[in-house]
Amino acid sequence: MDADATRPAPKETIESEALVSVLATTDLHMHLYPHDYATDRPDPRRSLAALARHVAVHRARTPNGILVDNGDVIQGTAMGDWAAGRLAADHDAAHPAITAMNLLGYDAATVGNHEFDYGLGMLRRCHGAAGFPVVLANLRPAGAAAEALFPPWTILRREIRDLAGRWRRLRIGVVGFAPVETLTWDRARLGGALRAEPMADCARRMVPELRAAGADIVIALCHAGIDDDAEGESRDADAGALDVARVPGVDAVVAGHSHTLHAAPSPVMVPGAGRGAWNGENAGARMSAGTRPAAVPELGLAPIVSPGSRGTHLGRIDLRVRCRDDGRWSVLRGSASLVPATAVPVAPGAAGTGEAAALYARVLNALEPAHRRTLARIRRPVTELSAPLTSYFADAGDHAMARCVARAVRAHLDEVGLDRSDGTPLLVATSLFSTGGRGDPSDYVDIAPGPLLVRDLARLSPFANTVQVRRVRGAVLRQWLERSARAFRTVTPGARDVPLRDLAVPGYDIDTVDGLGWRIDLSRPVGDRVRDLVTGDGPLAEDDPVDVAVTDYRAAGSNGFPDLADAQLRHADASTVPDILARILGRLGPGDHEEPRCAGWRFAAMPGTTARLRTGPGARRHKSLARRLGLEDTGVTDAEGYALFRLHL
């Protein structure tokens, strides 16, 4: 409903019930316009614009609703990079994401970890133009006198229509949380400016505040996952939303960060018993297409929706609420569902048809200038490729893409005058991001020989990470590589077609270190697999020093990798890896960045043993490369659309 609703509410002296809906987006990552900037093709499967049609239909049919966003909006596509550059040059410019969200009439939002990728100044300027409250409770200024980025919570005052058609006043509390790990991942940018509190601990403080301020119901926007098996330092990011859903007084939770699709109802409330008294009444609660509800709702758990990423789905939580004769509200039960962007939003002629088409058109028109400028930018040539660059076989030892990035970083360090006079070997650590993650067989890089365009650089390095050079010992490097090697499953000698990858470990945790060779022995347990480290100077001993060029993200000890904060800092500058690629690859000229496809790491030989590599179906276009890597196409495509290859160890 309109944030400025002023409809007078009658005196609430009659007990009644109403339905309230929360529509939610999360992890849009600048997928605003229905176009894939990585391939430069229209993409109707995802985008905020595509979801706008469903928002319009919902509003036409259900008057009691709010629209919220759960963070990670402003980073992720070429349009995001263009917008960041524009705001850096013109502090008064409007960010296209905020423009679109204002047009859609968002009611509230929080921020995710990637909102901090461009620094605090950019974050303030960008979200300062929001026509809706942005809330963040658990990341606060480190100094007592420092101004908070955003208020911790807000209360939306709405007039809703109950099931009898009467208007009632409802105060909806909205509180926001971001992963505490943000302070680690963006340590170089934040520089100790913020302090963090685990989401659930903060929620236990915030909920009483909200209730005391008059909130009738509480909605938690948690930029975190729902993996209850997560533990240790990654718990907040991987399971924080689930932990908050267990906090008494939280009535609904929007989850995100993990890019998963999930919708789970809450137990039905027994009047007077409070949330958590399950009586089985909502076991058959209505769920829309695409929903993956929990089989049996956990007692004491608020309904949760996690609408995936990149605008593929709209999340929805429906709450049945009761107003007692004293004016106090309680939540009776809740259901959660997912609406795919590709679903037909409404039948021709039905309620909401005109609204859906009109809102979709308004969003496209508002984004059109940014879209045109982004297209012009991504279509600029950088250099020429004489051979294809793909990530299909990166998990089997094809490091051509990683070496391309490493070559550019080395050239950049030469340009800035890194002191190498003491002869310490310089290594360059890189990782790939498009290797079939998130269950998407199309999420691979496949750049044909010919022009390498600006749009292709985002596939090589999608994040605005900067480069540091740290001096470490061989023992630290070995620990680092052991952490990376956990991405592969243990294989018993003589086994046949064992799955190669542990899919619980993201592909971007598999690091390649240019200038270093080593073997990974899959017959050994996790933590004892790395063998025979060697640089151009010979074998690398545990006490031998090396200089390693690494991103600020990896240097911060992200995802359990060694924290290099105490390692000697040999160099750091503000150049981002995408900027380095654009500048250096263009200067090197045709073919100058090419490297032989020989692995920095390779698997230890295991005669008579094979493993199964799952990769994108486009890999079948690269038969000669597969053969050079010891891969054999099985001809099988699995149920998720992945091609299966056999790796002869």
User: What is the chain's mean pLDDT, rounded?
Assistant: 87
Which position has the higher pLDDT, 49 or 351?
Answer: 49
* Burial letters 563-597, b for 16+ CB under 10 A, else e: ebeebeebeeeebbbbbbbbbbbeebeeeebbeee
Distances (CA, A) of 353 to 152, 350, 506: 37, 6, 41
Q: Is the pLDDT of residue 596 over 60?
A: no
> pTM here?
0.86
pLDDT at residue 135, as a whole number: 98
pLDDT at residue 413, as a whole number: 96
Which position has the higher pLDDT, 62 or 306?
Answer: 306
Nearest to 461 by CA among 612, 294, 576, 614: 576
The residue ranges of DSSP E strands in 152-200, in sequence order, are 153-161, 167-177, 194-196
Distances (CA, A) of 69 to 162, 301, 642: 26, 21, 32
Nearest to 27 by CA among 177, 206, 224: 224
At 471-491, the pLDDT tens digits run 999 999 999 999 999 999 999
pLDDT at residue 635, as a whole number: 95
In order of their start, the domains of the chain are 16-374 (3.60.21.10), 381-648 (3.90.780.10)
**Which residues on neighbouring strands pair with residue 529, listed in sequence order?**
none
- The phi and psi torsions of 489 (rounded to 5 degrees) equal -80, 160
At 380-401, the pLDDT tens digits run 999 988 888 899 999 998 888 8
At 151-176, the pLDDT tens digits run 999 999 999 998 988 999 999 999 99
- Find out whether 317 and 299 touch, Cβ atoms under 8 Å: no
CA distance 405 to 459: 11
